[in-house]
Structure 1
Amino acid sequence: MTAAPGPSRPPGPRSRSPLGHARVLRADPLGYMRHLRVAYGDVLSFRVGPREILLVSDPAAAREVLVDKAASFRKGRGIQKMRDFLGSGLLTAEGAEWRTHRRLMQPAFHRPALAGMAADIVAATRPTLERLHGAAQAGEPVELGGEMLRVTLRAISAVLFGTGLSDAELEVVERELPPLLERTTQRVRAVVDLPAHWPTPANRRATRAGAALDTVVARIIAQRRAAPEPGSDLLGLLLAARDEDGGGGLTDAEVRDEVMTLFLAGHETTANLLTFLFLEFARHPDVQARARAEVRAVLAGRDPDAADARALPYVNACIQEALRLYPPAWIVPRQATEPVTVAGYDLPAGANVSVNIFLMQRSARHWPRPDAFEPGRWLDGARTPDAFMPFGTGARMCIGNHLALLEATLITATLLRGLHYDVPGGGPTGLHPGVTLKPGGPVDARVSAVRE
């Protein structure tokens, strides 16, 4: 039964169940949301347990929430739950705290600062390149998702810490970060969520993982504080950040929170993007060949650098198209802090709004052949910029967007130049929408060497 839409009641399915639409949503979130969008339009509502959620996939309404009326919203329930893991980093902070941190950190993410990090990203990619060449020689399969997680973790560790992270500490990060992310996903999707301090097995495991990561980060911060110079890597830039008057730097606790946030933002999200990109390369060998030819022509046998990242238009188009089809941050939750109107509907304080980037970027209203992987649309102008928000939009647009794109371009150029990727059977067709968007299963690939 569907209630008639009105000025304060958006259209959408109604449910008599105490759980609302939680079961069907939990079983297939993206499929169900796509069904709702077809049935009710780009602005609709549905219930999960006691919470009514306004689902927005219209660009104009999204801008209302994220830009025009951003002051009337705070981060949504799911992101609030990340505070147990991330603390008060840029992803979770609000109000004056967020504005102060953003102002202090912004210079570290300007293009000149990032250009100096390119060599570290490429160096961090070499062990993966060597492993893939070994797999090609041995005829062994590789799982692309795991490979991309490892390479992006090493890349963001190099960008954050330079050479300050030992092999043993890197192993700690590789081991402990995934369970924290998975526990966060479970808590975000739970209808009834037990507090993080309750001693359940999952909470105890997450607490141990967080403590192990904190030990690693605290050691490096203390070491840098004691050094004559903080260093030129991202951690050094954070430690050196000051207000315009030269005061008001970040405390050790604040630096810790930002480091943990950057681990998430610069690691799993970029890994997911690269996994989807190379999956699409495997599905479209002609696209893969064209991208490889461009890399070879530009690099002429040398390693890529920051300038090359802007000299690879087709590779960049492939990355943009993968971001369109598979935005890692696929949904942006917000909660109204005061009465506000969105798309003509009156919302009370406390109302939950979710901006669905995935649905927006796959809408036939804005994108011809919306489910097709067509990098050429980014070269011929057949795109709708207002309906493309993979890093969000407005003042709270992801501060690391340029770093993520630099990472993705340099890693792609390094791994693509001398290798061909094939995924027998086309790989998993489903998607796993957790905190970030992942393939629905392992991406098992065959890798073969391509003569330079």
Structure 2
Amino acid sequence: MSYVPVSVVAFATITFTVYRFLDARNSVNCIPGMRPLFSPMSLLGAAFGTRWWNPGLNWAWVWRETAFFNHTHDVISVVPLISGGSSVYTCSTDVARQILATEGKTQLFKPRHIVAGLLLWGENIVAASGDHWRRHRRIVAPALTSKTYALVVAETIATYKEMVEGESWKAGEDNLVIDFNRLPQKLALILIAHCGFGLPMPWVDAPTENGLTFGQSLTIVTETVIPRLIIPSWLYKLPIKRLRLIEQAWSGLGLYMHTFIESRKAEQHENTTDPDDKQRGDILSRLVAAMYTEGKLNLSEQEVIGNIFTLMFAGHETTAAVIAATLGFLAIHEDEQERALTEILKVIPKSDPTIDDLQKLPYLLACFHESMRIYPPGVVVVRELTDDIAITVKRPSEETIVLRQGTLVIVDMIALHHNPATFPEPEKFKPSRWVGIPEHDVTMFGFGARACIGRKFSQIEALCFLALFLRDWKITAPIAAQESRQEYEKRVMGKAGLTGLAFGVGPLSLKLERRK
């Protein structure tokens, strides 16, 4: 008789699980798809990584060639058996536009649990939805002007020269650079700090009291967002070196950001005494000024901190990842490197480039865009529907599907940009596919009103750096003996995943030879 209660509990548990699963499947109209144990977007799903039994956060890349039933379906559903909510994924540009193009009218919003990592420091422009997003955008967007972009060019040139001097590469020799990715990452951080926030940073880090620079703290923080969400705060007090380092980085980054705010507040207070002294127009100045603005454009200090963190991260990790990938591909595809070099030498044979010069480098920009297509830094665009939406799909057959209010819709940016129906031979590096393509069809920056606000900043920074670098240095891939270029590309460029909060190729090693 002792087994009766256990049997009842087991039966009730199984019944509830089956009911819950069927209800979740019905909520997405029984659209075919994956039925994993955990939702890929849940903490458990992310923690276990991509396995045959668990998609994880990296499934879109690992299974990119067979995803969406070999790309025969525009949409699929994901209904977890144990943990996490159901969702609908799309790999179709057309479906993504249908959902996101009118986002300002349909009032889509970002679920709080999905953007939890971006909210650890406070509300911000990337995580906000609806009117809250519009408020943040009206404060930040005016800082991105033609004056800002001209400064990006000037600072990219100066920082590039600092980098070459600081790295001490030798002319006339092959310089093997291990983990090349760290260089564009450092460059991009310096540029967003200086041009976006008015915070000059040297290429060679100065020693600090707590042993971590702002850049080092930011890097560690972005790489440990998921552990920070999972690990309880008391564990960071244990004598475990890695946990202590994480805590040091998080607390140190907070101190840095508070210092930035206080310094800019003092500067703005001093400037108010002289009406002829013009206020700075950078992002940090506008954020701090919003703390003292009444009405709809007011920000709390925590919101200012949230925006500093998010824009610093978004402004450097994403661009840096694509710059590294671009040089990795050009090192393998030397014919593409030569074509880009010919264009560069025609426009800027010797002098430093101007912003007008950069507009005359369409093929170099195409190389950057193609690398971004293969490795889109933002892997997913996630929205929750606040109303029913009817979408038209073309595959496997043309039909209209109604997505219900409350449905979690995920635009899979990796699957979308590896969809052979849109991009033939998606695994091949073919920059020519972007030549002459209108700006609004460059979909890696997102869709609709909420496309990347730093799009032009990123493009100008990348073009300027790539032009200078390729003009001065011939890059080659350190291909192993008895290994073909195709095998090297598959082995090295095939290793990609989340680096911090952005998606990109793994650490690259490149050979550099100074051009004569």
> For 2:513, what is the secondary structure of its paired residue?
strand
1:154 has 2:190 as partner: yes
Matches within 5 A, 1:68-83: 68=102, 71-76=106-111, 79-83=114-118
User: Distance in 1 between the 2:103 and 2:260 partners?
Assistant: 40
1:433 has 2:497 as partner: yes
**Which of 456, 460, 466 in structure 2 is aligned with 1:406?**
460
> Against the structure 1 CA distance between its residues 342 and 50, is the aligned structure 2 distance closer, same or farther, given a 3 Å change threshold?
farther
TM-score normalized with structure 1 length = 0.85
User: Distance in 2 between the 1:162 and 1:169 partners?
Assistant: 21
Spell out, residue by residue over 1:41-60, the C-alpha distance to the aligned partner (whole angstroms, 9 max, x if none). 12001234332221111122
Query: Which letter maps to 1:446?
Result: K
> Against the structure 1 CA distance between its residues 109 and 78, is the aligned structure 2 distance closer, same or farther, given a 3 Å change threshold?
farther
Shifted more, 290-299 versus 27-36: the winner is 27-36
Spell out, residue by residue over 1:337-372, the C-alpha distance to the aligned partner (whole angstroms, 9 max, x if none). 455445544444443221011221222212232222
Matches within 5 A, 1:64-213: 64-68=98-102, 71-76=106-111, 79-131=114-166, 134=169, 139-142=174-177, 143-162=179-198, 164-165=200-201, 167-168=205-206, 172-184=213-225, 194=230, 197=233, 199=235, 205-213=245-253
Shifted more, 294-303 versus 166-175: the winner is 166-175
Shifted more, 211-220 versus 261-270: the winner is 211-220
Report what 1:265 is aligned to. Answer: 314
> Against the structure 1 CA distance between its residues 414 and 292, is the aligned structure 2 distance closer, same or farther, given a 3 Å change threshold?
same
Spell out, residue by residue over 1:252-281, the C-alpha distance to the aligned partner (whole angstroms, 9 max, x if none). 443332221221111110110001100111
> For 1:93, what is the secondary structure of its paired residue?
coil
Is the CA contact (8 Å cut-off) linking 2:111 and 2:384 kept in structure 1?
A: yes
Shifted more, 143-152 versus 222-231: the winner is 222-231
Is the CA contact (8 Å cut-off) linking 1:148 and 1:274 kept in structure 2?
A: yes
- Seq. identity, %: 26
> For 1:448, what is the secondary structure of its paired residue?
strand
How well do the aligned residues superpose, as a CA RMSD in angstroms? 3.4
User: Distance in 2 between the 1:122 and 1:197 partners?
Assistant: 43
Shift of 1:144: 1.6
Shift of 1:99: 0.8
1:26 has 2:26 as partner: no
Shift of 1:79: 4.5
Spell out, residue by residue over 1:265-309, the C-alpha distance to the aligned partner (whole angstroms, 9 max, x if none). 111101100011001110111111221222222223122222222
User: Distance in 2 between the 1:34 and 1:72 partners?
Assistant: 33
Spell out, residue by residue over 1:107-126, the C-alpha distance to the aligned partner (whole angstroms, 9 max, x if none). 21233432233212221222
Query: Which letter maps to 1:447?
Result: L
Unaligned runs of 5+ in 2: 1-21, 46-50, 272-277, 393-399, 480-487
Is the CA contact (8 Å cut-off) linking 1:243 and 1:249 kept in structure 2?
A: yes
**Which of 289, 295, 298 in structure 1 is aligned with 2:338?**
289
User: Distance in 1 between the 2:147 and 2:291 partners?
Assistant: 18
Report what 2:3 is aligned to. Answer: none
Shifted more, 166-175 versus 33-42: the winner is 166-175
Is the CA contact (8 Å cut-off) linking 2:74 and 2:91 kept in structure 1?
A: yes
Shift of 1:401: 0.7
Shift of 1:433: 2.8
> For 1:364, what is the secondary structure of its paired residue?
coil
Matches within 5 A, 1:290-369: 290-343=339-392, 344-369=400-425
**Which of 200, 215, 218 in structure 1 is aligned with 2:255?**
215
User: Distance in 2 between the 1:103 and 1:285 partners?
Assistant: 44
Shifted more, 312-321 versus 154-163: the winner is 154-163
User: Distance in 1 between the 2:245 and 2:406 partners?
Assistant: 32
Is the CA contact (8 Å cut-off) linking 1:281 and 1:287 kept in structure 2?
A: yes
Shifted more, 166-175 versus 254-263: the winner is 166-175
User: Distance in 2 between the 1:243 and 1:365 partners?
Assistant: 51
> For 1:333, what is the secondary structure of its paired residue?
strand
Is the CA contact (8 Å cut-off) linking 1:12 and 1:36 kept in structure 2?
A: no
Query: Which letter maps to 1:332?
Result: V
Shift of 1:64: 2.8
Query: Which letter maps to 1:60?
Result: D
**Which of 61, 67, 73 in structure 2 is aligned with 1:41?**
73
User: Distance in 2 between the 1:164 and 1:152 partners?
Assistant: 12
Is the CA contact (8 Å cut-off) linking 2:118 and 2:310 kept in structure 1?
A: no
1:449 has 2:479 as partner: no
Is the CA contact (8 Å cut-off) linking 1:421 and 1:446 kept in structure 2?
A: yes
Is the CA contact (8 Å cut-off) linking 1:125 and 1:155 kept in structure 2?
A: no
Query: Which letter maps to 1:297?
Result: K
TM-score normalized with structure 2 length = 0.75
